Chains A and B, each alone.
Chain A
């Protein structure tokens, strides 16, 4: 019987993987990942107004143009790499410059005046409202120049001036540095990308897959031929194993596509290092993850997380299998699976809310509930609201619950798979629970 289980599992897995749709979907996924990882470059490739050069014209009547030009250029090249700025000094009179703005709408004029009392005055002229970022850059640069002018004019010694210009030394001390708001946001982001979203989609896929396959065999009398040769238990297990194996393989493939996509971006970024805003953010997240101890936490909890995920996958596959055995068509199964989908949705929202509602007793209690725990418990564990032992306990509850559901579900499955009528369905199923 073991060899038949192995054969049925292999056959069921092959049936899912050896289809043109599986191949097509995976090619599409890879293309989409490549697209997402390089979305900023693709947008730039096609161009648009955002690429138009913005010229900042400096009309100086105060002899600080050199300083302002350097400050502005430094600021823009540091914080606005994607935008195309040019800083120029102009000798034309201010009236002509203003008139020219009608033709060159993107240009900005900074008219500087000397001020005895306030050191520096400026007039910023533009055709349209300046963007907030650009405005901030200009204000920041002018403030910096003003401070410089003030320092130059002050009677302070060079030493004093240098000390004044030095950036302030600030030492941030947080007593409970593991739970800072910033960290929580990053953890929430990591948890969403690592667990919540992938698991949500994988479970949806798993439930559909189990249901469709069992229904396919039920719609013809092939189920009778199969069950006359292998026990319902072997048949049921083969469906659970094959579908779970499939979603695990699909998850690994998705991970591989993500690696390929970022690798592709690195390869064509020149120099072989991470570059660009998106990758900087990824790098920053990874760095923070390491710094905040999430990596260590993940490693500590990994065995329990794997148990929790696998047992939850099995649990959903079992429930889907039992539902599919009870129904006589795919349409009926799709109706019956709706409550299951809603349960996953609840888990999804609670997991998202867990990072925002610190210490919520309800969410913590739900993290021990099978069918929901696999979405919530990992998040709570990563943000420090669930200890390692609590995570282990949550996994244990799911494992035990999965065994119980399999034990009783098999009784329904045995009767359900050979039942072709929907009359007195629930009565038949409840009666089957009593049969060993």
Chain B
């Protein structure tokens, strides 16, 4: 289990992370979200031991982060972290040896992973000769080849086509099932929603929203009503508690402030014609993110 307790980090006078606390249990996928410059990279750097917190404590299974502990961490950086002049085999051997693996084990695991990602033929090719997507696969393999206890994935789907995104997701879920703690960071909220049970949203180094995703959605009182059919738009807009009405080619989406407005909207919809669907949905994480970050900005 990863435990981040009241961690603060200053760069000179700038407070990059402000009293941040969260836990990632074994077999859990945790979302660490935030706009650019929110303090995510600083937090990752502190977790992998590159930076020392100014105050607070970070532990993995109760042990403070040191070079024995970092051997159990896998880190996929957002930007490329490959040595492009090396071949795939040399690159993986290099990083995995630094993680304490033996050459024999690395080569066995490498063959397995290359086959899994259908890139066995690139084993002796130089990294710089590979496509962006294949480079991302190599970067992913280098992060997971040593079966890490903690896996940090910063924008893992960059440069991947939908097929490979699916493949990555499958592998990440397998690590979760095996009991690894996973920290996931992405600007694509639909990906975070698909994965994360718990999350924290950072803004200017401070947590503005934290907790279990289901609970966050529940606590966020606003809902979306999806209607298919002919409904009087003006009448819906006039209902108290309706925040906005959006029309697409197929449906009308009514954004409401709280649950009790649903009945009022339903009364108007009943009067409409050709109604085929009336569906109440929780807001998307993207909406929650924008709303929370927006509120915090205003403050």
Contact = CB atoms under 8 A, between A and B. Distances in A.
- Tell me, yes or no, whether A binds B: yes
Interface of A: 1, 4, 7-8, 11, 216-217, 220-222, 224-231, 418
A228 B84 contact: no
Nearest to B86: A15
Nearest to B152: A228
Contacts of A226: 98
Given A216-B85, A222-B82, A418-B50, A228 B73 contact: yes
A222 B83 contact: yes
Contact of A228 (B70, B79, B83, B142): B70
A222 B81 contact: yes
B71 A225 contact: no
A87 to B, nearest CB: 67
Contact of B77 (A8, A225, A230, A231): A225
Interface magnitude class on chain B = 20 to 34
Contacts of A221: 77, 79-81
Contacts of A230: 67, 98
Secondary structure type dominating chain B contacts:
loop
Given A221-B79, A225-B95, A228-B73, 6 more contacts: A224-B81, A225-B81, A227-B50, A228-B48, A229-B95, A230-B98
Contact of A224 (B75, B84, B94, B142): B75
A284 to B, nearest CB: 48
B247 interface: no
Contacts of B77: 221, 224-225
A226 B50 CA distance: 10
B94 A11 contact: yes
B11 to A, nearest CB: 9
Given A227-B50, A229-B67, A229-B70, A220 B81 contact: yes
Nearest to B49: A228
Contacts of A8: 98
B97 interface: yes
Given A216-B85, A220-B84, A418-B50, A229 B98 contact: yes
Interface in B49-84: 49-51, 67, 70-71, 73, 75, 77, 79-84
B99 interface: yes
A95 to B, nearest CB: 80
B75 A231 contact: no
Most central of B45, B85, B97, B98 by chain A CB within 10 Å: B98
A229 B82 contact: no
A113 B97 CA distance: 92
A388 to B, nearest CB: 44
Contact of A217 (B83, B95, B98): B83
Nearest to A234: B67
B71 A229 contact: yes
A7 B97 CA distance: 8
Contacts of B83: 216-217, 220, 222
